[in-house]
Amino acid sequence: MFKANDNFAILPESYLFSEVARKIREFREANPDKELIRMDIGDVSLPLPAVVVDAMRDAATQMGESAGFHGYGPEQGYEFLRSLIAEHDYVRRGIECIGADDVFVSDGAKSDLGNFTDLFGKNVRIAVAEPGYPVYVDANVLAGRGGQEQSGRWSNFTYIECPASAGFRPSLPNDRADVIYLCYPNNPTGVALTRDELKKWVDFALANNSLIIFDSAYEAYITDSDVPRSIYEIEGAEKVAVEIRSFSKTAGFTGVRCGYTVVPRTLRFTFDSGEPADLNKMWRRRQSTKFNGVGYVVQCAAASLYTPEGKAAVKTHVDYYMRNARLLREALVEKGWEVVGGVNSPYVWFRPTVKEGNPGSWELFQKILDTANLSSTPGVGFGACGEGWLRFTGFNTAEKTLEATRRIKELTL
Ligand code: MLT
């Protein structure tokens, strides 16, 4: 008899953002006359830049002609795009150890974050910084690495707690872990690590033979000069870190789907047998088995972002969302609430002051939804350290963000 993957039975039934979306649907059905403003998931609101649309149109035209038609592409991504990524995002920024052969074009950061777990040994110890993007935990639970769940924590994982008292910054764990998930600038808190702070993690991984999965989806939002734009700015990171990036938040690609993962050829780990395991080769093998690459039209669209027009468009998008984040941050600070983020990140993380009681994140989410008709993302959805906190996104339009700040100012909880 067919037996289903038991890990689905132990995973919470709904993914965080699906649960938020469900509650929003319920609210809309019950309140059809209310004007809800979405401040929850980090979905972008600006349309695609003209340079991207032109590139897609040209590529689509080519695809309709015998001379320009492209069938299956290379699973790793077209060389033209991988070279642009290596050259512009790494070599020109002084990171010469990364080349086109280290880059794998993907259909977005989320899929690669989940799929990369295929490369981990069955019993590896996973460490996650908490609060953190729920995919790190959920994907490893599905692969059978979680153990038992109790109060939102899994017995086999090491939680790197980043509490409010530490400014949501991570401290090195007492024990080694095989795989360490880090996301900086952080989703959800917006906290960014300085070069010195990140170096501690790279040194820890080097000393302990650990792999760092560095989720760098929000790199374009960094404004502080002492915050590295890539983990490979830190010496030795090319031996221990995989970096995952996305065009979703920089150029409006949430619906287009394109990103990339850097798996340096210099990474060296081992199989159980002690034989060397080359992750770059393994990831290529994995992708060629389970993935047929990103569409030609989409890769041409991504390539257009490396032209002067494309770079200018990315800057316009990033500046626009950062202005929104700043406005939100200011409105929340003005209320006297605890606020983090919104400086090197489009997310603002906050803890409302309430008249009485000690409400949890979901209760606060519901109150703000009901009274101000603003949705948010409950902090506890990113792990126990996020309880009592909420996240607003700067990705809505400037007009709606302004209206949201007006409602925030009037809000009493
Ligand atoms: C978020 O809101 O945290 C992200 O947009 C979700 C995602 O990228 O999957």
Query: Dihedral, CA atoms, 298, 14, 118, 209, nearest 10 degrees?
Result: 110
Which ligand 1 atom sits closest to the C-alpha of 188? 3
Of the candidates 267, 221, 223, 224, which has an alpha carbon nearest to the alpha carbon of residue 242?
A: 267
Cα 149 from Cα 24, distance rounded (Å): 27
As a whole number of angstroms, the longest Cα–Cα distance in the chain is 70
- How many angstroms does the Cα of residue 42 sit away from the middle of ligand 1? 5
Cα 314 from Cα 264, distance rounded (Å): 26
Q: Is residue 187 within 6 Å of ligand 1 at its C-beta? A: yes
12 cis-preceded (ω within 30 degrees of 0):
no
How confident is the model at residue 13, as a pLDDT? 79
- How many angstroms does the Cα of residue 207 sit away from the middle of ligand 1? 32
Q: How many CB atoms lie within 10 A of CB 160?
A: 20
Of the candidates 325, 245, 349, which has an alpha carbon nearest to the alpha carbon of residue 44?
A: 325
HEC profile of 208-220: HCCEEEEECCCHH
pLDDT-above-90 percentage for the chain: 97
How confident is the model at residue 152, as a pLDDT? 84
User: For residues 88 and 303, is the Cβ–Cβ distance under 8 A?
Assistant: no
- How many angstroms does the Cα of residue 413 sit away from the middle of ligand 1? 27
Give, for ligand 1, the residue of 133, 138, 256, 377 to mutate: max count of ligand atoms closer than 8 Å to Cβ: 133
Q: Collapse the DSSP code of 348 into the 3-class scheme (helix H, G, I; strand E, B; otherwise coil) and give the result.
A: strand
Q: Give the number of C-alpha atoms closer than 13 A to the C-alpha of residue 203, restricted to the C-beta side.
A: 7
State both tokens at 101: 């052969």
- How many angstroms does the Cα of residue 18 sit away from the middle of ligand 1? 11
Cα 29 from Cα 23, distance rounded (Å): 10
Q: Is residue 41 within 6 Å of ligand 1 at its C-beta? A: yes
Which ligand 1 atom sits closest to the C-alpha of 217? 8
pTM for this structure? Answer: 0.96
Q: Is residue 164 within 6 Å of ligand 1 at its C-beta? A: no
Cβ contacts of 215 within 8 Å, gap of 6 or more:
109, 113, 133, 136, 181, 182, 183, 187, 244
Q: Is residue 21 within 6 Å of ligand 1 at its C-beta? A: no
For residue 89, give Cα distances in angstroms to 112, 147, 243, 379.
19, 38, 12, 31
Q: Is the dihedral of CA 153, 159, 165, 170 positive or negative?
A: negative
188 cis-preceded (ω within 30 degrees of 0):
yes
Tell me the domains of the chain and their CATH numbers: 6-47+310-410 (3.90.1150.10), 52-306 (3.40.640.10)
User: 350-378, pLDDT tens digit by residue?
Assistant: 999 999 999 999 999 999 999 999 999 99
User: For residues 183 and 177, is the Cβ–Cβ distance under 8 A?
Assistant: no
User: For residues 10 and 141, is the Cβ–Cβ distance under 8 A?
Assistant: yes
Q: Is 9 exposed, middle or buried (0-12, 13-18, 19+ CB in 10 A)?
A: exposed
Cβ contacts of 55 within 8 Å, gap of 6 or more:
300, 301, 303, 304
- How many angstroms does the Cα of residue 245 sit away from the middle of ligand 1? 13
Q: Residue 334 — very low, low, confident or very high, per pLDDT cuts 50/70/90?
A: very high
Cα 234 from Cα 196, distance rounded (Å): 9
Q: Ligand 1, atom 5: nearest CA belongs to which residue? A: 42
> Does the pLDDT at position 12 exceed 90?
no
- How many angstroms does the Cα of residue 43 sit away from the middle of ligand 1? 7
Which ligand 1 atom sits closest to the C-alpha of 41? 2
Cα 329 from Cα 327, distance rounded (Å): 5
User: 195-222, pLDDT tens digit by residue?
Assistant: 999 999 999 999 999 999 999 999 999 9
Give, for ligand 1, the residue of 187, 321, 349, 389 to mutate: max count of ligand atoms closer than 8 Å to Cβ: 187
How confident is the model at residue 15, as a pLDDT? 87
User: 51-103, pLDDT tens digit by residue?
Assistant: 999 999 999 999 999 999 999 999 999 999 999 999 999 999 999 999 999 99
Which ligand 1 atom sits closest to the C-alpha of 43? 5
Give, for ligand 1, the residue of 40, 41, 393 to mutate: max count of ligand atoms closer than 8 Å to Cβ: 41
- Residue 157: which H helix or E strand, with range? strand 157-161
Q: Is residue 379 within 6 Å of ligand 1 at its C-beta? A: no
User: For residues 371 and 219, is the Cβ–Cβ distance under 8 A?
Assistant: no
User: For residues 41 and 249, is the Cβ–Cβ distance under 8 A?
Assistant: no
